[in-house]
Structure 1
């Protein structure tokens, strides 16, 4: 019986890891689709608003279906929308207006280290040594991927804004995990995402002021490495793949893994974004970027393979016990 439960737990972790990778790929493709739209004349904040508002419309039927969440978990929905959706986007785009994109990405992806700190010192849950090593490797690899040395200008406000994006990303991972151990009373992740997108769209409407947007751009074409592509097709990519699929697979992966493991795997987003830009936008990779990508992959593998499973009372690396499956996992 114990062997069977361990097999189910391992299978669930494998599914969670697969979903986390899909989420990183989907999120990583957002920049590749957004850049041609920005070059065609759209403001970056307007692209973000289109992304979130479009995804909110797609998820609206699920919001209606799970409307009971508004009464049961209003704080969770508001927090996820403000931090996990609007906060990450707004702080990141504000930071890249003052500091290089590579530096902003590196600071934002300090989030996995901050997640480990939250889990260890706030939630007082065990963290394996391998998970910490994985974070260090992932952050170091990211420094190579974004070539942080190419833009080492010091702008205190820009760095603070990027750190704000990292803190909001911590909120995304922590809030995605809220209630996952509550069995049948756990908030449905699709409902949380739907209302989070609605809250994020409302906040970004005030910030982005879409009524001033050049809507005619969406009716024309944008160029991806010289190839004309309908702007509406790129918008569909951003909304459906880079937002809806990315958030759904990301939140579900956090439920199956843990915030700290999912956070490290999410570092792959920067690697994937760089690789996609190489193939689709003609932005070639340098040798340090290739090496950095390999280091990020190694860090993610080490962290996910040795991190404590959900519900384990002590780290696996320290000789932990078999994880007991919750009623929700048994039903699955």
Structure 2
């Protein structure tokens, strides 16, 4: 691998992961301090970021794939299902967990998805239960206990609604990851994710039209936060991550991607001044640790598997 290419890949994946993590904290600020609500933000974020990703495909990659994906009826139906039950579900549950709790807890709970996938595959007898699987499950259980209780067995340190939506977010991400496989084997990532975002945004628009909001209440800071969440925290973060796969191995990219929950925790605690107990820090360390265990494999996953596991944003 060329040294300069490696440095470029390192910059891209690190920047993308940090943007992803910070965008959750910025979303929390929008929910707590502005008139922006979940429905409007999710709808707007999906529509704009989806269109921008498709524009990148049109301008910089194989533009023929943009519409060929719709020519096969089966593939088209799969894409619609992925957009509504995968992309939209992941986005909405994640944002709901942020609203009722905070970005740090929401991000960490969403990262339970790999453990849910492991359990699902074992129950379906598609894989054997290994010592590595046992370690990841134990880390997940310990992480959840410390994160949600701060070491107390008698109470939750996180609102129950945030836990509910956070666990649903992990389950939605697990479905998203498993369901995306066949589509990603046939078409470029930007095509599938871009269209899925547009489909998810259009689906939620039926319930909550994005134009039904009072823009007069928006301040310059509100617009700045929205630009960051939509442009940097969604479109650019995903684009950078995919581009990093051109010069880094999937294993390296997965390891560096663990900066996302770390960025979410640090910005939530030190920027928004959210309380975070010492046992919650231990829980965060357990969940980040399980991500590192999953990524540190002698036989790294294929590029498509890595893309599936990280295309949630």
Correspondence list, 1:78-117, <5 A: 78-93=80-95, 100=101, 108-117=110-119
2:142 aligned with 1:173, yes or no? Answer: no
- Out of 44, 50, 54, the position equivalent to 1:50 is 44
Distance 1:35 1:106, change over 3 A: closer
**Counterpart secondary structure, 1:212:** coil
Deviation digits for residues 134-158 of structure 1, max 9, x if unmatched? 3431453354345565347767xx8
CA RMSD of aligned residues (A): 4.0
Partners in 1 of 2:216 and 2:276 — Cα distance? 34
Cα shift at 1:189:
0.7
2:53 match: 59
2:156 match: 150
Work out the number of aligned pairs and report it.
280
Distance 1:267 1:164, change over 3 A: farther
**Counterpart secondary structure, 1:150:** coil
**Counterpart secondary structure, 2:126:** coil
**Retained in 2: the 8 A contact 1:42–1:217?**
no
- Out of 273, 279, 290, the position equivalent to 1:282 is 273
**Counterpart secondary structure, 2:211:** helix
Which stretch of the first structure deviates more once superposed, 26-35 or 118-127? 118-127
2:30 match: 37
Partners in 2 of 1:287 and 1:251 — Cα distance? 35
Which stretch of the first structure deviates more once superposed, 107-116 or 171-180? 171-180
2:227 aligned with 1:236, yes or no? Answer: yes
Correspondence list, 1:167-316, <5 A: 167-178=171-182, 186-218=186-218, 220-221=219-220, 230-248=221-239, 257=250, 269-283=260-274, 285-306=276-297, 308-310=299-301
Cα shift at 1:123:
7.7
**Retained in 2: the 8 A contact 1:177–1:251?**
no
Deviation digits for residues 12-62 of structure 1, max 9, x if unmatched? 9xx79x84x655433321222123323122223222222212212312425
Structure 1: stretches of 5+ with no match in the other structure: 1-6, 222-229, 312-332
Cα shift at 1:247:
3.6
Partners in 1 of 2:274 and 2:235 — Cα distance? 26
1:118 match: 120
Which stretch of the first structure deviates more once superposed, 116-125 or 186-195? 116-125
Cα shift at 1:68:
1.0
Which stretch of the first structure deviates more once superposed, 122-131 or 267-276? 122-131
Distance 1:290 1:31, change over 3 A: same
Distance 1:201 1:154, change over 3 A: closer
- The alignment's TM-score, normalised by the length of structure 1, stands at 0.67
Larger Rg: 1
Distance 1:269 1:142, change over 3 A: farther
Distance 1:24 1:114, change over 3 A: farther
**Retained in 1: the 8 A contact 2:40–2:208?**
yes
**Retained in 1: the 8 A contact 2:109–2:144?**
no
Which stretch of the first structure deviates more once superposed, 266-275 or 44-53? 266-275
Partners in 2 of 1:159 and 1:277 — Cα distance? 17
